[in-house]
Structure 1
């Protein structure tokens, strides 16, 4: 245990028995249960906002979240003698959700449905609405579509193209067309009404509901890492979890059906919400992400990993489209 950690430990009403590393942080075995110590680079306002959401969840009966622990001065952020900032929060022993195990997937989506209920009608300040509301998808899709066109123009104008660039031009059209279609559909849909309703009701999304933020304990689940929590339409969490699960399972209908069925058992989705989910899945987000990474780096040498990502997205397009067709028919 190094001196820097001891300097931080002394600022808390904790007796630390054991310390071990875990993903850029330290897990602490203490007299008050398991805790996590990690460096902190965010803002105090955001930390207070995030912790207030977690406190509301606990008050409403959703107990297993990684609440921050205040130090002896009552602060959530502690500082060492070199100016480094740290937080301590509650932590949990268990297994991460395995997205290839349909039992784990069902358990995780049920947990999300349970989580979403107490994340509605959370009283927030005008300032929090200003800083922590979702950006409208129409704005995002317009911007991303412009960026995709810009990258295509940039690559087409190059005299010599590397493997990534040649592959990008070959597969560009169908993905861009899906981006344009998604934007058309969302403009025609009830999305703006759903969005404004979510803001007025002060509903919160986890913002990063992925496998490594879901801990399966022996008889319960814990949900961690609310740093990306935003005020907005909770379908965004379902979309993120469903998309990542489907990508892991080559867009196997069984997983998609299970996710929507299990969520709806706890909290039925409206037709408008299902249509929004379809549009979000239609938008080629992963293609845009890989494209954006390439353009922002503008490297003459592109790693084989990024080329493989691009090829992987292309390889899954047919099975993804088949699932989208299936989902579209289901919601008619």
Structure 2
């Protein structure tokens, strides 16, 4: 979208844009003549879900966690959304100055764990009535869906449906890839998931849905959570999986990173044996390979990316053993 339509959207929120910078697709940094800075972000088109997101995040804000979300008491925060000419809703939120946490810094990772735990506690207390947008109870079907899709991609390779190098790689390693997928299923079946999912009022939390270093901002005020388009209700283990996965996959699956995240979380909230079991389910599923085969926009379908993905999956076995040891020590 060009700068002129973005300027018009900002004006409908009641602000004048003196400078606009595109951060990435659908996200813009807007600066006013007075020096105020905002984030203008495109959201999914489901307006009912956006309204639900707004209600629960405003409750969470009142409980203390630092979030990049609108303040309806401010002039620029009075409107929840503006619809663009293409029919897409945009939200305007404060631009949080600071830096992304680095997985190389264990103190940064502990801060992320602390912030996530505070968000879960405040979000749990802010959930009222019948849970909307809940994925509690859906883990078995979600895992089966991913397993079927993975099998379809492997079958396509067996039938020479990709380029010759991709076909050869997948044929050579299909047993190993499917073994990891089956292990994830076995872990879910042997976990305490069913008992957890039967008590959503007790075990459910407001889940960010896509936690990782890029969705936290650190500054002198503390640790902010940003970007809430994947917000839903789930078990806290799912958010912990996402933060651990997104923090560790590019850093050789160094368990010290995960340990720092979990230790930070435990400063605020307890973790049970079942929580650790459920984190392991999604970590063991060959998710990176699954994304490359999808193909996911950030992971192109090439032999080199598949080699990188499978090398990553192979490191997770020892990583999970360390997670087991940590759970046994701190349960």
Q: Into which bin does the TM-score normalised by the smaller protein fall? A: 0.7 to 0.9
Task: Tell me if 1:243 matches 2:239.
Answer: no
Q: C-alpha separation between the residues in 2 aligned to 1:137 and 1:252?
A: 27
In the alignment, structure 2 segments of 5+ residues that lack a partner are none
For residues 84 and 189 of structure 1, the distance between their equivalents in structure 2, rounded to whole angstroms, comes to: 41
Q: Is the 8 A contact 1:121 1:202 kept in 2?
A: no
Query: Structure 1 residue 122 and structure 2 residue 126: aligned?
Result: yes
Describe the shift of the 1:269–1:20 C-alpha distance in structure 2 as closer, same or farther (beyond 3 A): same
* Residue of structure 1 in register with 2:40 after alignment: 37
Secondary structure at the residue paired with 2:224? strand
State the shift of 1:6 in Å. Answer: 4.3
Q: 1:182 to 1:68 in 2, by over 3 A?
A: same
Assess if the C-alpha contact under 8 Å between 2:208 and 2:239 holds in 1.
Answer: yes
* Residues 304-313 or 49-58, more deviating: 304-313
* Count, aligned residues: 323
| Structure 2 equivalent of residue 90 of structure 1 | 94
Structure 1 spans left out of the alignment, 5+ residues:
298-302
Instruction: Return the match for 2:316 from 308, 313, 320.
Output: 320
Within the alignment, does 1:113 sit opposite 2:117 as a pair? yes
Q: Give TM-score, length-normalised by structure 2.
A: 0.84
Partner of 1:175: 177
The equivalent residue for 1:309 is 305
CA distance in 2, matches of 1:219, 1:187: 42
What TM-score does the superposition give when structure 1 sets the normalisation length? 0.84
Superposition map of 1:1-332 within 5 A: 3-14=4-15, 16=17, 18-24=19-25, 25-30=27-32, 33-67=36-70, 75-79=79-83, 85-124=89-128, 126=130, 129=132, 131-134=133-136, 136-158=138-160, 162-198=164-200, 203-293=205-295, 306-332=302-328
1:39-72: CA deviation from partner (whole Å, max 9, x where unpaired):
4452221111111121011111224332276989
Alpha-carbon offset, residue 271 of structure 1: 0.9
In 2, distance between residues paired with 1:304 and 1:269? 36
Classify 1:76/1:150 alpha carbon distance in 2 versus 1 (closer, same or farther; 3 Å).
same
Q: Distance in 2 between matches of 1:293 and 1:160?
A: 12
C-alpha distance in 1, partners of 2:186/2:178?
Answer: 13
* Range moving further from structure 2, 58-67 or 162-171: 58-67
Quote the Cα distance in structure 1 between the aligned partners of 2:162 and 2:95.
51
CA contact (8 A) 1:134 1:230 kept: no
* Contact 1:79–1:85 (CA under 8 A) maintained in structure 2: yes
Q: Distance in 2 between matches of 1:160 and 1:6?
A: 44
d(CA) in 1 for partners of 2:126, 2:274: 23
Post-superposition shift, 1:329? 3.7
Q: Distance in 2 between matches of 1:144 and 1:80?
A: 34
Q: CA RMSD in A?
A: 3.1
